[in-house]
Structure 1
């Protein structure tokens, strides 16, 4: 499996929103919060094509990631893998790239995950520690000094 990245532009917004909806639909439906317009609005509120990349696996689009520097940390605003590519180690490979960038900058990584989503276990398995809870989301940090965990 070869994971590569391709930059995005403002012209990719519809494709990116569709990926986000596909990846989150099941989790949002479980808590009664699935709303395509809200998904689009939330994405657009943090979209910056300078930091957003499509995730390609063997040349096929498997999702996207958006990680950007904010003050003294790297914000992992979006990491979505479409359902047919989930569970194959792609998210772990993407996190390894995000961690390498954060480590090179000596910055921790912060991320939020929908309460009840499998992504919470994923982030915890990769060294993120819970720092805050809100009504719908749980927030995590992975310190630059975090021990390296086995990628799975």
Structure 2
């Protein structure tokens, strides 16, 4: 994957050395929703990231030359699975999440494949994904599973 940049952010390929920064960011970003759902476990939130980390499908989000987040776009069946999309709270609200998501979705649209993801029930992330064309596929008491079909240029 090549590096994408704008005047505010860049994506670079993740390395094994990025794991601990991503693990800690995940623990901080997910804590409010997990606590609200009664599912927060200090060890499990970190272990799940360590167990699922695949650097070759993960990008690090860099803002002002600093680690600011991560996103994984993993091949899955007929398309991709979007996961581990975390942005440091210090840079949230600047449109970076939307810009990163737009860049990734332009790539999957060019491939003509759907993208799936899941968010926690009540998560603000759901609104971001809905603005980018994701729709409800199914849900349970904890997770909301969403899909976005490829958009064809007109």
Q: Does 1:68 align with 2:74?
A: yes
2:95 pairs with one of 76, 89, 98: 89
Please state how far the C-alpha of 1:100 moved relative to its aligned partner: 1.5
Q: Is the 8 A contact 1:127 1:146 kept in 2?
A: no
* Partner in structure 2 of residue 103 of structure 1: 109
Please state how far the C-alpha of 1:71 moved relative to its aligned partner: 1.7
Please state how far the C-alpha of 1:83 moved relative to its aligned partner: 1.1
* Partner in structure 2 of residue 43 of structure 1: 49
* Partner in structure 1 of residue 19 of structure 2: 13
Number of residues paired by the alignment?
A: 147
Encode CA deviations 1:93-144: one digit per residue, 9 max, x unaligned.
1101110221121111111001111111111121100001023110101110
SS of alignment partner, residue 139 of structure 1: strand
Q: Does 1:125 align with 2:136?
A: no
SS of alignment partner, residue 50 of structure 1: helix
Please state how far the C-alpha of 1:68 moved relative to its aligned partner: 1.4
- Where do 5+ consecutive residues of structure 1 fail to align? 148-152
Please state how far the C-alpha of 1:24 moved relative to its aligned partner: 1.1
- Give 4+ residue runs of structure 1 displaced > 4 Å after superposition: none
Q: Matched residues in 1 for 2:120 and 2:152: separation?
A: 23
Please state how far the C-alpha of 1:146 moved relative to its aligned partner: 7.2
Q: Does 1:139 align with 2:142?
A: no
Encode CA deviations 1:44-92: one digit per residue, 9 max, x unaligned.
3432100111101121221111111112111101110111111110110
Q: Is the 8 A contact 2:11 2:60 kept in 1?
A: yes
Q: Does 1:52 align with 2:64?
A: no
Q: Matched residues in 2 for 1:121 and 1:42: separation?
A: 24
